[in-house]
Homo-oligomer: A and B are copies of this chain.
Amino acid sequence: MKLTIKDIARIAEVSVSAASLALNDKAGVSEDTREKVKAIAEKFNYTPNHSAQSLITRRSRCIGLVVTDINNPFFAMLVDEFNKLLDKFSYTLLLGISGDKIAAEKKYIETFISKNVEGVIIVPTIETNPDMTHLFKLKNLGIPFVFCTSAYTEFLEPCVMSDLREGEYQIVNHLLSKGMKKIYFITGDRNLLLSKLRLDGYMQAFKDANLSYHPDWIIETVPDFNHGYQVTLNCMSDRPDAIVCVNDYLAMGVIKALKDQRICVPQDISVVGYDDLLFASILETPLTTVRQPIGDICMKTFEVLRRRIAGNYHDESVCFLSPMVKIRESTK
């Protein structure tokens, strides 16, 4: 049987309230009793019942995190970073993986609410025309949330992300300056800020170079390995000069498809990614990509969330951090 604070109090021959005060390092008990109670709690391996604690304090020491796809190493890194941060402030991580489905995201948020999380971090999905009721619900209940890595165009703030537009601009610019023209762009749903911003960067680069792109070069899909693979098989008949991928994970699929078709990178075609995953540097042809300052992104996200949990909503609400282009051999 699990011991309760009552048992500890009885053994220590003090009242329950005294035991509580002692264990929580609150004023109102003498040092003697505090030590006595603590010693007994330690000895009998007492752990407080979190449900009871959370019921009365209305603080759960839990944070909910929804990511889209943990098999994308970028998001794995993200989860890892948040895990470390939550550790530092003794929060527990409730994790949901939405698989890029708004319905799943919604479902996780609902359970987070019922589990009384103190705050929520959301990596938005790519689905269009989403039903945002769960976000309004969070707002109404006063549960703080922060978007990370992206946001919904209908629901921009608060949000912490890297300047995707700028990163994509620089990288497309790099390709154009190398004389490439037919540059495909494989991306997620353009209603999602994450994709829209990168697309903006792509377009701006063409504009500033006084060149134009064909709308067919922009392909919207689910931004993962398998879809990257499939899409590439379909579009290679048109022989693009380069393929710009919305992220490295998708680029992995693209590269695999090219390999299967015996198309060489960068001789026959250039490929660029985004995120600078570990694997990007050990490929046959190391991948040109854009590094996101993921540690900073997570730190900032958590900072904003903590401020809001503390009741301070008066901070800057959208935050862009600077990315860093990594030119490697996949762009000849």
A16: chain B residues at CB < 8 Å are none
9 nearest CB pairs, A to B: A284-B284, A51-B55, A51-B54, A47-B114, A76-B76, A256-B282, A50-B115, A95-B95, A51-B51
Task: Check if A83 is an interface residue, CB within 8 A of chain B.
Answer: yes
Q: A70-B80, A83-B95, A97-B80 are in contact. Are A47 and B113 (CB under 8 A)?
A: yes
Task: Check if A141 is an interface residue, CB within 8 A of chain B.
Answer: yes
Task: Check if A323 is an interface residue, CB within 8 A of chain B.
Answer: no
| Cβ of A85 to closest chain B Cβ, rounded Å | 12
| Cβ of A70 to closest chain B Cβ, rounded Å | 5
A225 to B96, CA, bound (A): 26
A48 to B55, CA, bound (A): 12
A181 to B49, CA, bound (A): 58
14 residue pairs from A and B, CB less than 8 Å apart: A47-B110, A50-B51, A51-B52, A51-B54, A51-B60, A55-B55, A70-B70, A70-B80, A70-B83, A71-B76, A71-B77, A83-B96, A93-B94, A252-B282
A210 to B281, CA, bound (A): 40
A193 to B283, CA, bound (A): 32
A52: chain B residues at CB < 8 Å are 51, 55
Q: A71-B76, A94-B94, A97-B83 are in contact. Are A114 and B278 (CB under 8 A)?
A: no
Interface residues of A (CB under 8 A from B): 2, 45, 47-52, 54-55, 60, 62, 70-71, 73, 76-77, 79-80, 83-84, 90, 92-97, 110-111, 113-116, 137, 141, 225, 252, 255-256, 259, 278-279, 281-284
The residue among A51, A52, A84, A113 with the most chain B CB atoms within 10 A of its own CB is A51
Number of copies: 2
A55 to B4, CA, bound (A): 12
A71: chain B residues at CB < 8 Å are 73, 76-77, 80, 278
For residue A112, which residue of chain B has the nearest CB?
Answer: B92
A141: chain B residues at CB < 8 Å are 2
A55 to B57, CA, bound (A): 14
| Cβ of A92 to closest chain B Cβ, rounded Å | 6
Beyond the given A50-B114, A52-B55, A92-B115, could you list 4 further A-B residue pairs with CB under 8 A, ordered by the A residue number?
A: A93-B94, A256-B281, A256-B282, A279-B279
| Cβ of A167 to closest chain B Cβ, rounded Å | 22
A77: chain B residues at CB < 8 Å are 71
